[in-house]
A and B are shown apart, each in its own frame.
Chain A
């Protein structure tokens, strides 16, 4: 196990380096000049030259290595758009917000998805199953801005129990988190239902029943753990995506999260901010995948079978 985990951990910096390189190529290949505001007068070449030197972006090659060097020291560089803001400050301000919403969303998705998925598998073809599948289809099909707006209208206009557009209290977390949880919830529900159905028909469940275990013990002790293995693997990428924020949800609920900077960074050709957000997201994704691998190894003894990869 430790050997396997170690080799997975060693892959992390390599993967991140490749992501950095690919993103960098795309960032500099995109037409447009970060120092040139659209529609405004052209910048005098000398001034642009000075700015580029100031940010260590004399040419792409220098930029690539200088920025990599800064990243090694945990420095994500400066935003070219927001004056006097470093990318570190932007991330430090917005990532905790997105992470809080994202973690809450994943938690909701996990509890509701696994719960309803299991119930649906137990009552296959029944009313609960039908309703659960319906909810999953609805959650995947209806866009977040519709659900978000509906939640705003419902709880702030029809039943005015929550304010609109505030951020700070724990209650403000709830609606964005619910909105963000819908898609992962739907996936988890369908994954759980599918694998639970399969597990419940398997031979070892019949063995557990033949032992004289009650149906609830069969499900809790034997079926659920086996059925959750595929859900675990989905959880890594889903958590990384949810925790790094969503542009739509943040706009609808006026939340100061990280998702907005992904989009604005690109729109403003804020090159260092683009690289910073992409790397934050990639780091979380890769780390969470290693974590999921590790936890899967704890749950499933067969994971150790393969030679250390």
Chain B
């Protein structure tokens, strides 16, 4: 696709462990067009958040680093930029919001000042203009009485309000891409729904491309055009959300979807995938999922060879030796 605003290809990330650097993200590739939402779905420790931080170049250099790949934003490879140039892109072209609205705001600054700081950076506006823009943005993200609320400190706001402030900080700079790392995980279900609608309407309004990181298929179904399922640092299945939800091709995706309790079959025991996610850098040989996989557990090929990415007729990419259209 030529209209992509973000193009990640072959991204690899390693983290430092007591025994040396271990690769935890392998060959992650995906693209994102304006107005599109891609969900990166996986369990805790699957490498989804660390991939997002790698794209933002916010990895703590002491403990993690990118080892391969390119992250092209507007056809410029962010990974090759010097830090100073990256600082100008961060926030302005690609912004990020985080899971923990409780701790992600500076406790000593008013929320208005934190939004205004972002506005000031992005547009070079004067402090007073940035402040009034911050108030407008706080109003836009659904903070009632934004004029007065802008002078509040983070501890005076609820979790949902703080996440709205985070969204305001990210979007006041009018970025082309927003990376949302589990934006609703820490919130109540009703607040979750409000935040998701807010993101959707802001996306329609501004043509934002959204990379949504989540473990929740409910959020995926509601928000995403495209989904990429990540397991042990590798995207195992990627395609249109509807296709994946209706007819998952990778055994892991199937397993994950089967785990979701359904109101239609309330009596059934909850399904689980046997075993646990391998810890960072300690993946099994071959397909990292094969010890837990009902199809590949006893297959020599699954045990010995990392599956190649296979393309399917509906545009899906699946990494599985046993997947069939």
Contact = CB atoms under 8 A, between A and B. Distances in A.
- Is B a genuine binding partner of A? yes
Interface of A: 124-125, 201-204, 206-215, 221-222, 225-226, 299-302, 305
B214 to A, nearest CB: 18
Contacts of A221: 117
A226 B107 contact: yes
> Which 8 A/B pairs are nearest by Cβ-Cβ distance?
A212-B91, A203-B103, A212-B90, A301-B153, A211-B91, A203-B104, A210-B96, A204-B106
A276 B92 CA distance: 63
B127 interface: no
Contact of B87 (A212, A299, A300): A212
B155 A301 contact: yes
A305 B155 CA distance: 9
Interface residues of B, number: 34
Task: Select the residue from B88, B95, B106 with max chain A CB neighbours within 10 A.
Answer: B106
Nearest to B156: A301
A209 B98 CA distance: 12
Given A203-B98, A204-B105, A206-B58, 16 more contacts: A125-B62, A203-B104, A204-B107, A207-B98, A207-B105, A210-B58, A210-B95, A210-B96, A212-B87, A212-B91, A213-B91, A214-B84, A226-B107, A300-B108, A301-B153, A301-B155
A255 to B, nearest CB: 40
Contact of A204 (B60, B62, B104, B170): B104
A301 B121 CA distance: 25
Nearest to B101: A203
B106 A222 contact: yes
7 contacts: A204-B105, A206-B58, A210-B96, A211-B90, A212-B121, A300-B108, A301-B155
B166 A302 contact: no
Contacts of A226: 106-108
A212 B92 contact: yes
A20 B136 CA distance: 58
A206 B88 CA distance: 16
A79 B103 CA distance: 57
A211 B118 contact: yes
Contacts of A210: 56, 58, 90-91, 95-96, 98, 170
A197 B242 CA distance: 45
A226 B96 CA distance: 22
B122 A212 contact: yes
Contacts of A204: 103-107
B169 interface: yes
B169 A207 contact: yes
Given A204-B105, A204-B107, A212 B89 contact: yes
Contacts of B14: none
A39 to B, nearest CB: 62
Nearest to B103: A203
Nearest to A223: B106
A231 to B, nearest CB: 14
Contacts of A208: 106
Interface in B100-133: 100, 103-109, 117-118, 121-122
Contacts of A299: 108
A207 B104 contact: yes
A145 B105 CA distance: 47
Nearest to B99: A203
Interface in B149-203: 153, 155-156, 166, 169-170, 173
